[in-house]
A and B are shown apart, each in its own frame.
Chain A
Amino acid sequence: MSALFVLIGFSILVAAGFLIAFIWSVKNGQYEDEYTPSVRILFEDKVPEESDNNNINVTITKNSSNGN
């Protein structure tokens, strides 16, 4: 058996791994909300007991579609 077939088999296995990862991520709901996680990651995890006079530099501007 040629080494080529081993390689093909192996490459398909690797690709199948990515396919499974993709299916898992869909099942997990990662495509249901594509916006919130991008905001969430910028929040700082602070312990609530800390003082509020903080110096957070995170300013996120976003076009608010809601006119409230």
Chain B
Amino acid sequence: MAKSDKIACYHCGEDCGRHPIEYDDKHFCCSGCKAVYEILSDNAACEYYSIENNPGIKNIQTEIGNKFAYLDNEEILSEILDFSDGGINKVKFFIPNIHCSSCIWLLENLHRFNKGILVSNVNFVKKEVQFTYKSEFISLRQLVELLASINYTPQITLDDLKAGDQPKTDKKIYYKLGVAGFCFGNIMLLSFPEYLNFNKTLEEEYRTAFAYINLVLILPVVFYAATDYFLSAFASLRKKVINIDLPISIGIVVLFIRSLVEVVTAADVGYLDSLAGLVFFLLIGKWYQNKTYQALSFERNYKSYFPVAVNTIDDDGIESAIPLKQLKTGQRIIVRNQELIPADAYLMKGQASIDYSFVSGESTPVAKKEKDLIYAGGRQMGSAIELVVAKEVAQSYLTELWNQDINTEKKESRLNSIVNTVSHYFTATIILISILSAAYWFIFNPDNVMNAFTSGLIIACPCALALTLPFAFGSAVRIYGRAGFYLKKPDIVERLSKIDTIVFDKTGTLTKNDEFQIDDSELILNSNELVLVKSAVKHSTHPLSVAIYQFIKSELEELDSFEEIPAAGISAFIDDQKIKIGSQSFVTGESKESGVYSSRVYISINDDFKGYYIIKNAYREGVEEIIGSLNKNYDLHLLSGDNESERQYFNQLLAKNDQIRFNQSPKDKLEYVRSLKENGRHVLMIGDGLNDAGALSESEIGISIAYNIYHFSPACDAILEASKFKDLVKFIQLSKKSMNIIKMSFIISFLYNIVGLIFAVQAFLTPVLSAILMPISSVTVVAFITIASLYNARRSNLDLKIS
């Protein structure tokens, strides 16, 4: 991991720099990592380090303090706990930092730290830990503080307050699959003698007996395993549309009734093997399609982002934690470093420096003065501030944005999916053919009427057709997932292939949140002064300081003193030289000039003004190529909440200037997407912040870009790993190829259907023929789709992780 000249931190593996902290013969990059090591070694948990190398997480939070004081509040406690009785409590936490085997080991061995922790059980896939603890020995607050001290801070948000309301994983599909598989296997076994019964050597006694056993075995298949198809067909009929489940249901019902009649009247043995196989294969398709990413959430709204409680302060200056929903207008609240502003509020006291990166994608903190209104959703960076609540949580600007009525139903019906179009015509054709052949036989040989009619409906039962979509989409979703693109639902593949308009957000989407472009043309510093600046910014965690620190390539010196004034800048002394770095008013004493578009960092040394850095967000790799190649086939639009400073750049990049809009509010973005849709466009929106949330859900496909896919991202249809943005074009191409595969496999299954129908209309269909034709068509289609999808994935040059 580390190169020979670098020392990797024993805890987190990061480079320790030139002055590592040494402790217990080990090197640490910071005191935070060392502190965690001390806690672990005190509790005999150093095995943590032997399972994987440098498994730790670098501490980014400063101190815990009163942060979790709200967990002492009984009311909140009762809503968070899953179970509480006789001092034994159970609670489940989502811990995004879980990332390796060492994490599992440590979290499951927490009982070594405190005897009150009885059991802790990690679900790695969901990044969840279930704790059982005795409140006699440890309180929930202490438990959470223990987790925070070793950097496994659980995420406790408003969403967690609906205790016991967590959606359970749907196990029905497994039960149905099990039952259908059991019945299918046994029916096949008992039907096998029939297949070899060419010379009628099988005794009639056995034939009837086997048929009756099969009849019993088919009952759970039809009345339990296949119920979803009946319900879906019925629901679609009531909506006056024909979906694929209707011909399937007809097929199942006809197969069952005809077999029942044949067996009871001792005419023949029926098609029970085909029926059981049909349902079993269909269920496998359903199961395969439902690939879900359990640790990801596509439904997050402000509730999973907001804290559960807030610290209020009364007239006597006494602090207390109250649940967020009890927060009233006019109450005074305290928001500390790294905490969230829960409601629109006026700043009363303190230096506010608000990071709105979750809201707008812009990570450079914004300074606020006293009496300024601060919108909810920002994160305070720096010392604690006091605010007076201006609007209740539910009426805040951000919350209102969320609660705007967005009709998601419309989204589904706007695009008529290919399979529904096909089954529409398919069903009509099949019924027509069956009626025609019945009519023909009615004239020429009435004995064959029922046979021909039911045979048509049976053989046309679109098993292969119905398996096409689940397998094609299921494969595509898996390939996307391995390439870092996570879809919420499989049918998004089809929607993706149909889009014709792409709307980009700028900040955080086309630009990187965590990387800056620095222009030092307005700054004159000699090499000694660069050392001073670099040494000074090293001690600041402000994103711009970090950017400057990385930008200057020079040595470091020890500081004599360092002071950071939030929302202003830093001042430091090195060898009696005074360095000031920060805003214009802080460094030069002049107030800000208006009309300045980009961030500037001013520098003075010994009160001698040296100039300023111009800092912009860096663009993602490949932005120009992506826009270049998308420009040919798609209508591109850019919506940015920022000012016009970069209009020039985008005018070159995007052909049509009127499709670039700056100074867009979240509502403007939503309206813009809506008007595109009203013009008949199929819109793909890519954004990252809460300010895009409205537009994301209004568009046909909303893609949310995330640096860490397990952290917060607004509600969307798909989550794209930030580093995979360059593959966007390939993802869209792959969806088109998937649709081609679907069309080809439709043709294959139609061919089988035609062959089957030729037998059926002549009243030649026999149980054996049906038992051969149905599985063969299904297997060919599934094999074709799987192979073709894999081939396409290989050809697409996507970087696929092994999953």
Residues of A within 8 A of B (CB): 2, 4-5, 8, 11-12, 15-16, 18-19, 22-23, 26-27, 31-36, 39-40, 42-44, 46, 48-50, 52, 54, 56, 58-68
Is B784 among interface residues, defined by CB-CB distance under 8 A? Answer: no
Alpha-carbon gap, A15 to B359, bound state (A): 56
Q: Are A66 and B51 in contact (CB under 8 A)?
A: no
Measured CB to CB, the nearest residue on chain A to B108 is A40
Alpha-carbon gap, A32 to B41, bound state (A): 33
Alpha-carbon gap, A35 to B802, bound state (A): 14
CB distance from A27 to the nearest CB of B (A): 7
CB distance from B51 to the nearest CB of A (A): 6
Which one of B51, B97, B178, B179 contacts A68 once the chains associate, using CB atoms below 8 Å? B97
Is B518 among interface residues, defined by CB-CB distance under 8 A? Answer: no
Which one of A36, A43, A48 contacts B125 once the chains associate, using CB atoms below 8 Å? A36
Q: Which residues from chain A contact B169 at a C-beta distance below 8 Å?
A: 32
Alpha-carbon gap, A26 to B58, bound state (A): 38
Known: A39-B124, A49-B44, A56-B50. A27 touches B104 (CB 8 A): no
Alpha-carbon gap, A33 to B129, bound state (A): 12
CB < 8 Å A-B pair total: 93
Alpha-carbon gap, A49 to B112, bound state (A): 10
Alpha-carbon gap, A12 to B216, bound state (A): 12
Is B366 among interface residues, defined by CB-CB distance under 8 A? Answer: no
Question: Can you pick out 19 interface pairs between chain A and chain B where the beta carbons lie within 8 Å of each other?
Answer: A15-B185, A16-B182, A18-B182, A19-B182, A23-B175, A26-B178, A33-B126, A36-B124, A39-B101, A42-B101, A46-B47, A49-B44, A52-B44, A54-B50, A56-B51, A58-B50, A60-B51, A62-B52, A68-B57
Alpha-carbon gap, A66 to B304, bound state (A): 20
Q: Are B708 and A67 in contact (CB under 8 A)?
A: yes
Which one of B99, B182, B190 contacts A66 once the chains associate, using CB atoms below 8 Å? B99
Which one of A33, A50, A62 contacts B101 once the chains associate, using CB atoms below 8 Å? A62
Q: Are A43 and B41 in contact (CB under 8 A)?
A: no
Q: Are A33 and B125 in contact (CB under 8 A)?
A: yes
CB distance from B48 to the nearest CB of A (A): 10
CB distance from B54 to the nearest CB of A (A): 11
Q: Which residues from chain B contact A43 at a C-beta distance below 8 Å?
A: 51, 105, 108
Is B163 among interface residues, defined by CB-CB distance under 8 A? Answer: no
Q: Are B47 and A56 in contact (CB under 8 A)?
A: yes
Alpha-carbon gap, A5 to B210, bound state (A): 9
Alpha-carbon gap, A63 to B122, bound state (A): 18
Is B213 among interface residues, defined by CB-CB distance under 8 A? Answer: yes
Q: Which residues from chain A contact B47 at a C-beta distance below 8 Å?
A: 44, 46, 52, 54, 56
Q: Which residues from chain B contact A5 at a C-beta distance below 8 Å?
A: 209
Q: Are B122 and A59 in contact (CB under 8 A)?
A: no
Known: A36-B124, A39-B101, A64-B100. A27 touches B171 (CB 8 A): yes
Q: Which residues from chain B contact A67 at a C-beta distance below 8 Å?
A: 708
Q: Are B52 and A36 in contact (CB under 8 A)?
A: no
Q: Are B124 and A33 in contact (CB under 8 A)?
A: yes
